[in-house]
Chain A
Amino acid sequence: MSAREDILKSVRRNKPEQSPLPLVPEFDKPAMDLVKIFEDNLLKIGGRFKQLTNPDMLKPFIEENYPGLRMIVSNVQGYEGTHKLSSITKAHDLENLDLAVLQGGTAVAENASIWLSGDTLPFRALPVICQHLVLVFNRGDLVYNMHEAYQKIEINRSTYGAFIAGPSKTADIEQSLVIGAHGPKSMIAVMLG
């Protein structure tokens, strides 16, 4: 308790004069098509983009792109994968997960990130322990910038939530880009609509 009081006391003694909190204005959006911006940015960060006009096309799309994978789980309506999520009891059982197909929320064009809310995930490990990742979002949930995104999402709706932009990567060895650091080695964003 004493460290807390000491720190707060020291802050009160040393803090500067009042300074008003600025209002964050709305910024102009580029005239370009948001889908095109999202797609361009996703390609630049090592992801792939697919637009499906009908949700029924998801299953054949996955089967065509990921043939022969042993373990696939999904929380997207209309596609079940190879293993039911309800059959998995702990995160460590996902060690050999080949592919996760997950329902995303708001998607952001300026950085090609997609919001995943923890309440849709039985395990937080799902989007990061898999070898490959497919994130699905609805065309109507695409916004331009992060300011709009934070107006739409509820960051504390669940204990966990993340913006995910592309596959995991590192450039820690001589600034050479390596896709697939600890998380997925590939990532496809599927836009429905």
Chain B
Amino acid sequence: LISHAENAEKFIADEPRTNWHDETLWFVRVKRDAAVKSVPEWETLRELASQIKANVLANLDTYLEEFERHAKTNGVIVHWAGNAREHNEIIYGILSEKGVKKMVKSKSMLTEECHLNPYLEERGITVVDTDLGERIVQLRKEMPSHIVLPAVHLKKEDIGETFHQHLGTEKGASDPDYLAAAARKHLREQFMTAGAALTGVNFAIAETGGIVVCTNEGNADLGVALAPLHIASMGIEKIIPKTGHLGVFLRLLARSATGQPSTVYTSHYHGPERAKEMHLVLVDMGRTEQLGREDFRKSLYCIRCGACMNTCPVFRRSGGHSYNAIVPGPIGSILSPGLDLKKYSALPFASTLCGSCTDVCPVKIDIHQQLYKWRQIVAKENELPVFNKIFMKAMGYVFAHPLLYRITASAGKWIVRITPRSLLYSRWNIWGKQRELPPAPKQSFRTWWLNNNKQ
């Protein structure tokens, strides 16, 4: 089990690159701020979005039934999947029945969570990710490092090399226009020959049974428009009650994500194009369990804008891959422990608890509060690393016994003074890895207090 801190250590070994990554994401945060300032009612919109989501969770069962009823009336074939295995089996079932050999896929974090691509590839179906960033990481056999900017960890030279190997672009070429044009040509061929198109879902409207998909590149639209089969995968929390609520969420989403007033394409699907077929897979994948956790259910409000990642001082300086989770960053660190506490026990600690994530969240998720609460659970469930566990226990004991505390504190003062640096900053002093210990004071606060009160 590799912790976030260990992965981050590898990431920050390259300091100029770390700084570049940090600045790149901060640039997106600044764009977000400018976009937000252009909307005087921003805070009202956030509050509305948060209240709508609270209502959705309180009535999720009836909204899901209403949505399903309308979707079926619209001619959509609706499936339900409790977990990743069921989700993948359903999709494979649809594809194999139609004899599909190649599927184009636009961005869908859910299918990443379900590890759909390897599942289908093993069964002889080629999956082509069509979002440029996702195609780049797919060719490199990597995971997306960010939910909105999947290749934000890569330099254009890295991408140039990948395209040279896979798409035959010129060796050493790294001009973004040139590389994007090569990807456009390559992916056009995929769109023209795909037997199915899979999309994610940004919003599902209960009262109409339709779904909304947002992209900038037009890859979802082109995929669906050309393939005879459209499959949409959605987490059950993507439901919103009414059409009118789209106005609230769409005004928040793109501004929070990239600082754009809107994505280029905001596409509404209410059934298949004539003579085609549309399937919809509603997926639980741990969401109903999270719904039952009072302290953490608000994490299901998330609309996947990525603003919390762009603002997070830890994410910006450790990179998305260091979290080793499909959804990284602050929101991922409160979602992932709910899926597998053991595997993701380090993530709630990958934060300074500064609260910047909570401040920018367009649906007002109390992210830093939840990070703090997950830490309590990690400790209670005995998932802290051994050293931290023993250290915390010992500290707790010392703090609970005043005399012992006084002895330890005064001993500590001398230890800091006389211990050689090599010993003081040994590998056991994790805190001292990148920091200097403060100089030991001449007298303790207690001594000072006692002296002062005497006079």
Q: Is the CB of B218 within 8 A of A182?
A: yes
Q: Is the CB of B216 within 8 A of A15?
A: no
Chain A residues positioned under 8 Å from B65 (CB to CB):
8
Query: Any chain B CB within 8 A of the CB of A65?
Result: no
Q: Is the CB of A159 within 8 A of B217?
A: no
Chain A residues positioned under 8 Å from B241 (CB to CB):
21
Chain B residues positioned under 8 Å from A10 (CB to CB):
284, 288-289, 291-292
Q: Is the CB of A16 within 8 A of B289?
A: no
Which residues of A from 160 to 178 have beta carbons under 8 Å from B? 160-176, 178
A98 to chain B, nearest CB (A): 14
- Cα–Cα, bound, A184→B188 (Å): 12
Q: Is the CB of B261 within 8 A of A112?
A: yes
Task: With A12-B61, A22-B52, A175-B24 as known contacts, state yes or no: A4 contacts B221, CB within 8 Å.
Answer: no
A149 to chain B: closest residue by CB: B247
Query: Any chain B CB within 8 A of the CB of A181?
Result: yes
Chain A residues positioned under 8 Å from B176 (CB to CB):
173-174, 176, 178
Q: Is the CB of A168 within 8 A of B217?
A: yes
Chain A residues positioned under 8 Å from B210 (CB to CB):
155-156
Task: With A24-B248, A182-B217 as known contacts, state yes or no: A91 contacts B225, CB within 8 Å.
Answer: yes
- Cα–Cα, bound, A158→B57 (Å): 29
Chain A residues positioned under 8 Å from B28 (CB to CB):
175
Query: Any chain B CB within 8 A of the CB of A147?
Result: yes
A129 to chain B: closest residue by CB: B222
Residues of B in contact, count (CB < 8 Å): 96
Chain A residues positioned under 8 Å from B266 (CB to CB):
113, 162-165
A168 to chain B: closest residue by CB: B218
- Cα–Cα, bound, A17→B27 (Å): 40
Query: Any chain A CB within 8 A of the CB of B224?
Result: yes
B131 touches which one: A28, A108, A172 (CB < 8 A)?
A172
Binary contact track B228-246/A, C-beta < 8 Å → 1, others 0: 0000000010000101111
A112 to chain B: closest residue by CB: B261
Q: Is the CB of B264 within 8 A of A155?
A: no
Q: Is the CB of A147 within 8 A of B247?
A: yes
Q: Is the CB of B218 within 8 A of A159?
A: no
Query: Any chain B CB within 8 A of the CB of A63?
Result: no
A21 to chain B, nearest CB (A): 4
Q: Which of A49-57, A67-75, A120-128 contacts B (4 or more CB under 8 A)?
A: A120-128
Query: Any chain A CB within 8 A of the CB of B351?
Result: no
Secondary structure dominating the interface of B: helix
Q: Is the CB of A124 within 8 A of B288?
A: no
Chain A residues positioned under 8 Å from B271 (CB to CB):
159
Q: Is the CB of A156 within 8 A of B179?
A: no
Query: Any chain A CB within 8 A of the CB of B208?
Result: yes
Q: Is the CB of A181 within 8 A of B152?
A: no
Q: Is the CB of B262 within 8 A of A163?
A: yes
Query: Any chain B CB within 8 A of the CB of A60?
Result: no
Binary contact track B71-96/A, C-beta < 8 Å → 1, others 0: 00011000011100010000000000
B160 to chain A, nearest CB (A): 9
B74 touches which one: A92, A149, A156 (CB < 8 A)?
A156
- Cα–Cα, bound, A123→B225 (Å): 7
- Cα–Cα, bound, A8→B80 (Å): 10
Query: Any chain A CB within 8 A of the CB of B64?
Result: yes
A177 to chain B: closest residue by CB: B176
Centre residue among B51, B52, B80, B245 by max chain A CB count within 10 A: B80
B262 touches which one: A25, A111, A125, A129 (CB < 8 A)?
A111
Which residues of B from 368 to 426 have beta carbons under 8 Å from A? none
Q: Ordered nearest first, which 10 A-B pairs have the shortest CB separation?
A: A14-B292, A183-B218, A181-B217, A111-B262, A172-B133, A111-B261, A125-B225, A10-B288, A159-B271, A147-B247
19 A-B residue pairings within 8 Å (CB atoms): A6-B82, A13-B288, A16-B54, A17-B58, A19-B54, A21-B55, A22-B48, A22-B52, A24-B244, A24-B247, A123-B225, A149-B247, A156-B74, A156-B210, A159-B269, A162-B267, A173-B180, A182-B191, A182-B217
